[in-house]
Amino acid sequence: MTAATSQAAPSRVSDEVVLQGRGLTRVYKQGTIDVHALRGVDVDITKGEFTSLVGPSGSGKSTLLNLLGLLDKPTSGTVAINGKPTANLSKAAAARFRLANIGFVFQAYNLLPVLTAYENAEYTLLLQGVPKPARKAKVMPLLERVGLAGLENRKPHELSGGQQQRVAVARALAGSPGVILADEPTANLDTATSEALLDLMLELNREQGQTFVFASHDDRVVERSRRIVTLVDGEIASDERK
């Protein structure tokens, strides 16, 4: 993996909006109580951004990430991806749309326990119909880049938490999505692994123009980001660019 650095992502941002949220509200029921996770949020994410959503626990950053990634539907408001409205997509259509456009890194890894590290990392490519030789040519170098060379045949229960997270990162990157959404991607990693993975993401952002949006408390993520969107009580309190 590349050497760690605290350098922020180089600016390669275009004017093309790849994720757009308008009036995003999300209300959850807790018994008879309505919990407002988001309150009418407007946000545009443009191609090539390296952005962090920050704020205290319960501020709505993970909820916003899930809405932008079509993992959840807003109570009200709209989401468009690459200029295409998504409100009327069925669950199946939304899943196909995610597969083609978005990669995810989850705090809980979300690896399939019966698959090896290699099989988990190639899973997106398998769903995309990529032939086996092309999958191998893409996945093996990725596993090496995230420090998992030699561990590709281990299943999740045979890997540490940090190693599982690295598999999840490789899976998210394997399909070369235009946008990668990451929810607390460094929460379970040691300092050296966190910095090396973030540097890999910076490299992809710089060289391939991939867009990254993080929901994170980690100062290392924030330091590298060129845009910081702060949420408080379900609303955007500030939106700053470096």
Position 9 scores a pLDDT of 46
> Residue 175: pLDDT above 90?
no
Model confidence, pTM? 0.88
Give, as one character, the DSSP assignment of residue 20.
E
> Residue 43: pLDDT above 60?
yes
User: Residue 226 carries which side chain, given as an amino acid letter?
Assistant: R
CB 174 within 8 A of CB 62: no
User: Residue 155 — pLDDT band, cuts 50, 70, 90?
Assistant: very high
CB 182 within 8 A of CB 172: yes
Separation CA 66–CA 72 (nearest Å): 6
Mean pLDDT of the chain: 90
Position 1 scores a pLDDT of 47
What digits encode the pLDDT tens for the residues 181-224?
999 888 878 888 888 888 888 988 998 889 999 999 899 999 99
58's tokens: 């319960």
Position 3 scores a pLDDT of 42
Separation CA 72–CA 98 (nearest Å): 12
> Residue 79: pLDDT above 50?
yes
Position 12 scores a pLDDT of 55
Position 14 scores a pLDDT of 65
What digits encode the pLDDT tens for the residues 120-129?
999 999 999 9
Q: Which CATH number fits domain 48-70+88-241: 1.10.1040.10, 3.40.250.10, 3.40.50.300, 3.30.565.10?
A: 3.40.50.300
- Mean pLDDT, range 19-47, rounded to an integer: 94
Position 19 scores a pLDDT of 96
Position 109 scores a pLDDT of 84
Beta bridge partners of 30: 33
> Residue 225: pLDDT above 80?
yes
